[in-house]
Each structure stands twice: as C-alpha cells, then as structure tokens.
Amino acid sequence: MVITLADPARRNAMGDALFSALHNRLLVAALAADDRLLASDGTRTGADVLVLRADGPAFSAGFDLAACVDRPPLLEGFVHELSRAVQALRALPIPVIAQVHGAALAGGCALLAGCDFVVTSPDAQLGYPVHRIGVSPAVSLPALVAGAGHGGARRITMSGDIFDGAQAVRIGLASHCAPSAAELEPFVDALADRLVGKGPHAMRATKRWLNELDGSADPVLHRHAELASAAAASGDEFAGLLRAFWEARQRGITPR
C-alpha cells in the first residue's frame, strides 16, 4: 500500500486539506490491512506494508504557515491533527516505511516519528526549526524518543538543527539512507519486499509489543505532548514571531 502526500506546489504544506486526505487514507489502510490478513481461502498471506511518500521537491515543509499568518489559532488545530496522524501511523498493525526526499521539516519531520522505518535520500533535510516561530515540537516526542532515544530527541528538538540523510541515521531520525537520490525509491521497494515476505501475525505481534514497551502508542503521553505544543501555539509569542518570520521571508530574508 502507498500513501502519497500530493500538494507539490506548496511543498506538501500540512493544512486542513492535506490532513483530511491523510486521515482518510490511513483509515482505509488500517481497514485494508485487516481485510488482507487472511486470503479468501482462509490461508495466511504475507505481511502487508505501507509506504508513505510525497510528490514534488519536498516530503513536507511543515505546517501551512501561510494560512496561519492572519489566523494564528489555526496552528493549534494543526497540532491536534498532526498528533492524530502520528498516532494513527504508530497504531497501524503493519510496518510503515517513510520514503523521504527533499525537506521534511517541523510538522513534516514529526510525521516521520510515527513510522517504523524512515528511508532518506542523502541530500534530504530533516529537523525541527520551529522555536524561531514560537512553536514547541513536543507533539512528536512520545514517538520520537522511541526512535532517537532521550539524548537524541533532546538534541534534535532543542537545537533546531537540520540534518542530511546520513546525519539523520546517525542521530536516530532515520533508519536508512539510500546510496543516492536516484536509488531512494528502489531502496524502499527492496525493503518493502523483504518485509512482505515475513509472517503477518508475527509482524503484528512484534510491532504491538514494541509500541507497548517503548510507550510510543500510549494515548496519555501523546495527549500531554499534544497539549504542550498546542498551548505554545495559542500564545502571543507564536503570533508575533510567526508574523516577523513571514514578513522577513517575504522580503527574501531567511530567518534563523
């Protein structure tokens, strides 16, 4: 199964339309995974796999900030939708592979935390450069800590640094880096083929227990983290920093 973020003109900015489409596709994927667990004759099929990919030059540049400049309260809603998507990815009973090219920043990077495997292009850009607009990346921490560890997650989210593909693997943001940009899709296809050959019940049990042991599917943790990010997004600091950031960008200045 494949889910494609398909708003390339806006670098797959995460707003109402993209979130709605993503939630619908994830629901369909969950139902399809259950339907396909058994073949029509009752025999076991191979494990199913979901690949999350994107059209255009970027995986996702993050939240739709253009929509938030004049309506800052929108971002609080986007935080809730992002938390819902990360939890849905983690809750899928099948392996989820993110195929990442270009930028996967802020909310786009947070989405990766819900995936079981993150395969990047060497020239990909991953990170959480969000404090400059007064936003907290806490929303993704329950899942991010499970992959990057406490120290890695602290560095990733507090520094705001941007990591290329190889660096992302070293720090725990990604699981694999393809040898080249041209080999990204074949690399993901090969990984998916290996996973498809596994026993589906064993794969489901493994993912379920991993989620329980690392807490990455704990709804209470996700809710607390979601509320922390939402609270930051609802304050005056966010509205002021976002407007300053957007005005600088409109003048061709890259804020730091």
What are the tens digits of pLDDT across the range 175-197? 999 999 999 999 999 999 999 88
In 10 A of CB 151, how many CB atoms?
Answer: 11
Looking at the domain assignment, is residue 205 inside a domain? yes
Looking at the domain assignment, is residue 189 inside a domain? no
pLDDT digits (tens, 9 = 90+) for 105-119: 999 999 999 999 999
Q: Are 241 and 65 in contact (CB under 8 A)?
A: no
Which contacts of 15-21 are long-range, i.e. CB under 8 A and separated by 24 or more positions?
Answer: 15/63, 15/64, 15/67, 15/74, 15/78, 16/64, 16/67, 18/64, 19/78, 19/81, 19/82, 19/85
Looking at the domain assignment, is residue 43 inside a domain? yes
Looking at the domain assignment, is residue 57 inside a domain? yes
CATH classification at residue 81? 3.90.226.10
Whole-number pLDDT of residue 31: 87
- Going by C-beta distance under 8 Å and a sequence separation of 6 or more, which residues neighbour residue 199? 44, 47
Whole-number pLDDT of residue 40: 41
Looking at the domain assignment, is residue 256 inside a domain? no
Whole-number pLDDT of residue 185: 97
List the chain residues with pLDDT less than 70: 35-47, 235, 239, 246-256
- Residue 194: its H or E element: helix 184-196
Whole-number pLDDT of residue 252: 58
Looking at the domain assignment, is residue 193 inside a domain? no
The structural domain count of the chain equals 1
Whole-number pLDDT of residue 167: 96
Whole-number pLDDT of residue 3: 95
**What is the domain range of residue 126?**
2-183+200-250
Cα–Cα distance measured from residue 126 to residue 148, given in angstroms and rounded to the nearest whole number: 13
Buried b (16+ CB within 10 A) or exposed e, 15-53: beebbeebeebbeebbeebeeebeeeeeeeeebbbbbbb
Looking at the domain assignment, is residue 81 inside a domain? yes
Looking at the domain assignment, is residue 69 inside a domain? yes
Whole-number pLDDT of residue 41: 46
Sign of CA dihedral 129, 131, 136, 138: positive
